[in-house]
Amino acid sequence: MRRIRVLRRLFRKYRESKKIDKHMYMKVKGNIFKNKRVLMENIHKTKDEKVRKKTLSDQFEARRANNKAIGKRKFPRKEERLAQGPRERPVQPAAAAAAITQAQPTQGSKKSKK
């Protein structure tokens, strides 16, 4: 009986100071928690989880807004390129192609074991 009085006194103070909401209040009011420490740990854990979810959702919304802005900037350029029509790629001259192939290392002879 004493344990219940201690817990109820504690969560009455928490509810008045707006540390817990009505959902948490109803959960706490039941005979779920063994002692005051377990009750406080649970309250802090759920509050931390709620804060973490809120920050993640805020970050997600910011990323979404940023991606929309990027898309709006890209759309006119894309339309402009499509209006110009297909663009042909310049053909590399033979001398430039030969220089590229010479720059690539060739496989040398392997040393034999003695």
What lies within 8 Å, CB to CB, of 100 at 6+ separation is 92
pLDDT at 98 exceeding the cut of 60: yes
Q: Give pLDDT, residue 112.
A: 67
pLDDT at 2 exceeding the cut of 90: no
**What confidence tens digit (pLDDT) does each residue in 5-37 have?**
888 888 788 888 888 887 777 776 677 777 888
Rounded to whole angstroms, how far apart are CA atoms 83 and 77?
A: 10
Mean pLDDT, the chain, integer: 79
Q: Give pLDDT, residue 48.
A: 93
**What confidence tens digit (pLDDT) does each residue in 44-94 have?**
898 899 999 999 999 999 999 999 998 888 878 878 887 887 776 666 666
Rounded to whole angstroms, how far apart are CA atoms 26 and 78?
A: 56
pLDDT at 102 exceeding the cut of 80: no
pTM across the whole model: 0.50
| Residue reference for tokens 């990027």 | 70
pLDDT at 106 exceeding the cut of 60: no
